[in-house]
Chain A
Amino acid sequence: MNKILVAGKVEGIVLKSNDPINFLGTVDKKTGIITDKNHTLFEKSIKNSILVFPSGVGSSVGAYTIYSIKSNNTAPIAMICKKADLTVATGCALANIPLITITDEQFESIKTGMKVILDTDTTTLIHYQ
């Protein structure tokens, strides 16, 4: 379902993960690099990406991690999830990172490397370029 959790407008390149993300403990706050060996994004940086993933998992303290990576300029410029979980929702709200949820079909069609505009003031939300 389409929901706007944190409003905003950004333009950038998609980085997609089919695995959920546990922000507490699997993201290096100084670099934005995923440090979990078992994660599909292992050794990739989420910095300045439009990060697309199913949902957040793990401790709600992970919201502070999202705030931290934003303060360190290593955060994604927007996040797009299938399901809204409270950790990612509050983390993005703290850090003022736009966050929306999308349908399963939309999630399937969006791919790493795509250039998109996310604009929560428009009805389609995501514009592919």
Chain B
Amino acid sequence: MELTREEESALKGEQGEIMQMAYRILVATGEATDAEKLIPIEWAHLSGVNYNTIGDAGEEFLSTISKNARVIVKTTLNPMGFDIDNVSNYNLDENFISKQLSIRNSYVTMGVIPSFSCIPYEIFDIPKNGTQVAFAESNAAIHANSYDNLKTNKESAFSALASAIVGKSPYSSLRKEDTPNITIRMKIKNPDELTYGMLGFYAGKIGDTSVNISGLAKMDQRQCKAMCGGMGTSGTCAKFNFGEGDPNIEKIDFDEKEMLKVHDELNTAEKGDLITLGSPQLGLDEISDLTAKLKGRSFQKRCMVFLPRTVKEQAQKIGYITELERAGCEILSDCCTCLTPLICKDDIDAVTTNSIKGAFYLKNSNGIDVNLKSLKEIIEDETR
């Protein structure tokens, strides 16, 4: 990797320990991904926020570096473990809460915007076409590359943090021109968001860094997010190219048979003890739609609804939150289904959700069975 004189000097430690560490991370990442240089980025989105995932080692690390480290580009943040407004309603121990708040404080001290959201593309303005960013959250990286005309690799928590501190990222992989070597042909008729989640999950297993995808009808935001979330869960792939692509490359059908395989892998229960909506978190359009669907109806069991704090505030003003709470929803901002400490296998055997991403992590991290249903089915079956 070619470094400028200034970058070399930072790597040697001449600009302090924090810069040295940040450059060490960028160089190690760059060498691992065959980057030839570093390039400027305008926005970093960090993962590694939830105490449930980064643990004591992460909390201590962030606490140490936050004494000196500062981010120099716009930097936003993934969800944490709970919503401080209602954490007392859940069975979380004091240690978890204090460690999580320490993590929050460390990020805020470093100058990070405490957005606690996995859908930065929906709650912040999108920069102009072709802007280089560094997104660590997988669904956000895929959405940025596929729908928002931004350029990012699927960054790690560390490369994104180092990029935020230095304002640069390794120039590798998806930041350059990218030509997928495989095309997936969507063959399912009348797909809903669950179908698109499964398609994304399937594509993530097959694709290397990007895939072509053809046969898609016009998709709404819920369906786009489901597809990005599904893909980010199953592999390293971080971009959809829409269309058939090069006629000479391999084509694979996503048909009923393939969909059933994904469904059987992730659907492990006939019914759930509670429902979760949101992974990725719900945006304002989805909240508006959910409110309309629940008019005059109520959930017959617990239903957790995850959304960013900014969306909660907007929804409160419009009156959606009152209506959702009336229908029995538990409204949670700053956190998400994915890797939540709020759903514990000691209390819950199975969860009903329309999220493939949520299903994967509930199963693999929380050890909880999952009952997959589309939102339409959830409303039909679980409300009166």
Contact = CB atoms under 8 A, between A and B. Distances in A.
A89 B31 CA distance: 9
B57 A29 contact: yes
Contacts of A87: 156
Q: Which of B21, B27, B57 has the most CB of A within 10 A?
A: B57
B24 interface: yes
Contacts of A63: 156-158
Given A71-B60, A89-B29, A99-B28, A61 B54 contact: yes
Interface residues of B, number: 22
Q: Which of B55, B156, B158 has the most CB of A within 10 A?
A: B158
B371 interface: no
A35 interface: no
A6 B28 contact: yes
Interface in B2-54: 21, 24-25, 27-29, 31-33, 48, 53-54
Contacts of B58: 61, 64
Given A94-B158, A96-B21, A96-B24, A89 B32 contact: yes
Contacts of B32: 3, 5, 84-86, 89
Contacts of B31: 3-5, 84, 89
Interface string B180-192: 0000000000000
Nearest to A4: B31
Interface string A41-76: 000000000000000000011011101100100000
Contacts of B48: 61
A64 B57 contact: yes
Contacts of A94: 21, 24-25, 61, 158
A92 interface: yes
B28 A61 contact: no
A93 B156 contact: no
Nearest to A86: B156
A84 B32 CA distance: 5
Binding site of A, secondary structure by majority: helix, strand, loop or mixed?
helix
Contacts of A5: 27-28, 31-32
A7 B33 CA distance: 17
Interface in A4-53: 4-6, 29
B168 to A, nearest CB: 15
Nearest to A96: B24
B24 A93 contact: yes
Q: Which of A29, A68, A89, A92 has the most CB of B within 10 A?
A: A89
Contact of B158 (A29, A71, A85, A93): A93
Nearest to B26: A93
B159 interface: yes
Q: Which 10 pairs of residues, A with B, have the shortest CB-CB distance?
A: A84-B32, A64-B57, A90-B158, A93-B28, A68-B57, A89-B28, A93-B24, A93-B25, A5-B28, A89-B32
Interface of B: 21, 24-25, 27-29, 31-33, 48, 53-58, 60-61, 156-159
Given A5-B32, A64-B55, A90-B156, 13 more contacts: A3-B31, A6-B24, A60-B156, A61-B48, A61-B58, A63-B156, A64-B61, A68-B60, A86-B32, A87-B156, A93-B28, A94-B24, A96-B24
15 contacts: A3-B31, A5-B27, A6-B27, A61-B53, A61-B58, A64-B54, A64-B61, A67-B61, A68-B57, A86-B159, A90-B25, A90-B156, A93-B28, A93-B158, A94-B24
